[in-house]
Amino acid sequence: MNPINYSLTRTFKIMKKSIFAIFTFALFMGSNSVFAQDPATAEHMVNVTVPEVAVLDIATSSESNIVELNPTFTGEAGTPLVFGQQNDALWLNYSSVVKANKRRTITAQLEAPIPGIDIKLTPSAITTGKGKKGTAVAGPVILSTTPSAIITEIGTCYTEDGPSNGHKLTYTITLQEADTYDQISVGETTYAPKVTYTITEAN
Amino acid sequence: MKAAIKTGSIIVLTLLASFYAFTQPSPELTANITGSWTLPVPSVDVTEAGNNYGGAYTSAPNQVLIGFQGNPPGQFKNISWSIEIYRLDATWDPSIQLWVRRTGNGNGQATGQCTPAIYGGLTYQQVTNVTSPFLSGACQYSNIPLEFQVRNVSVLTFAQNYSTQVVYTVTITGL
């Protein structure tokens, strides 16, 4: 073998080895591209729409939610009717869902005035329920035919349902502070003005 | 000379093979989803003042269908796989819980070499912001039915629209 042929043969041998290495590498890369498969991802949306809720109710353990407030008379001539009777049989329950940072207020309104007499309402602080429960105004509030705020700063909350839950409502009947004794008269039947509670969006 | 030609041919073929191997697009795994879920929480569920919402809200049993396949078709006929799941919140209240479960097997694509199998996901599991294992199995699958539950929506949750993206990651665990 002349030196030129020897050199070519040697070169081809080296090339064969290189080719084998390249081929092996190519196969490895090809197979590796399968084993190193990127994960596939897919996604979808879940949407939940929470609505606004504003419901309130009067709860009592009595048979009815009628508040009896009856001034008394001692029977002694020359003495006045005695006022100051109280009734705390009713409870104010509510559930409220508001938009973020919104607040609600509950007002109470007397259907019609009673001449010479005040119906006062004192809502208690609340100890039941969860969430941003309302704040009872410092009572007593003299009810009138104009709505009076009794619970303020109500956010998203619930009070629990039923008597002994929510705000206890204490009604008191009093003689008006001014000398209105002469305005007191016997009604045709019984004075029975309704008290209406309303929950509204606060401004 | 003969050896040179032979070697040259091998070089050309090898280079062609290498070129083919490198230039062929890698087979891809494609996951697909059908459906989504929009839940309008009914305000009438608060039937009594003072009460909270009651219980959980459940989607249709096949609210979302998930599947995956090789691309181009015919790839990955004989694979084992796993699916992980997590939640990517857009607007979400942390108190609201999202749960998911599989309500059926879907359609496993049997081949001569592969017997379809699917495991896991039959009981509700919570979908959180952290990736967690969900399903696993063998062979390609389509139309795996999923049911969702939203829990813990309460009247302590502000009124607004909440939105989250449920992300599934399909990984081949064996070929």
pLDDT in tens, A139-192: 799 999 999 999 999 999 999 999 999 999 999 999 987 777 888 877 666 788
* Angle in degrees, CA B4, B9, B14, rounded to 5: 125
Residue B158 to residues A97, A101, A131: CA-CA distances in angstroms?
Answer: 6, 9, 10
Contact flag B164-A46 (C-beta cutoff 8 Å): yes
Interface with chain A: mutation pick from B51, B162, B165, highest number of A CBs within 10 Å: B51
Residue B6 inside a domain? The answer is no
Q: Judge whether B128 lies within some domain.
A: yes
Distance CA B34, CA B150 (A): 19
Measure Cα distances from B95 to A31, A70, B6, B128, B157 in Å: 47, 49, 74, 11, 8
Q: Does residue B160 fall inside a structural domain?
A: yes
Bridge partners of residue A91, in order along the sequence = A59, A168
Beta bridge partners of A114: A117
DSSP letter for B8, please. H
Number of domains forming the structure of chain B: 1
Amino acid at B48: E
CATH code, B88: 2.60.40
Residue B109, SS3?
Answer: strand
Give the β-pairing of A157-158 and A86-97.
Answer: antiparallel
Distance CA B136, CA B116 (A): 11
Looking at beta carbons, which residues of chain A come within 8 Å of B46?
Answer: 53, 55, 95, 158
| Per-residue pLDDT at A34 | 46
pLDDT (0 to 100) of residue A20: 53
> CA–CA separation, B75 vs A15, rounded Å?
35
In a domain? residue B139? yes
* Angle, CA B66 vertex, CA B60 and CA B68 arms, to 5°: 170
Q: Are strands A40-50 and B37-40 parallel, antiparallel or unpaired?
A: parallel
Question: Considering the domain boundaries, does residue B22 fall inside one?
Answer: no
- Structural domain boundaries, residue B81: 27-174
Q: What are phi and psi of A199, to 5 degrees?
A: -105, 125
> Which residues of B fall within a CB distance of 8 Å from A97?
43, 155, 157-159
Is B64 part of any domain? yes
For residue A12, name the pLDDT band (cuts at 50, 70, 90).
Answer: low
Is residue B19's pLDDT more than 80? no
pLDDT attached to residue A75: 87
Burial (CB count <10 Å: 0-12, 13-18, 19+), residue B174: exposed
Alpha-carbon separation of residue A113 from A172, B12, B166 (angstroms): 14, 109, 60
- CA angle in degrees (0–180, nearest 5) for B22-B27-B33: 155
Structure tokens at A139: 């009572």
Instruction: For residue range B28-58, list pLDDT tens digits in order.
Output: 788 999 999 999 988 767 677 777 776 689 9
Cβ <8 Å between A156 and B96: no
Q: Which chain A positions have a beta carbon within 8 Å of B38's beta carbon? A: 45-49
Q: For the beta carbon of residue B92, count every other beta carbon within 10 angstroms.
A: 17
pLDDT digits 0-9 by tens, B132-160: 999 999 999 999 999 999 998 877 788 99
* Whole-number Cα distances in Å, A13 to A3, A36, A146, A165: 15, 34, 108, 96
Residue A73 pairs with which residues in a beta bridge? none
Residue B15 belongs to some domain of the structure: no
Q: Which amino acid is present at A141?
A: V
- Per-residue pLDDT band for A120 (boundaries 50, 70, 90) equals very high
In a domain, B162, yes or no: yes
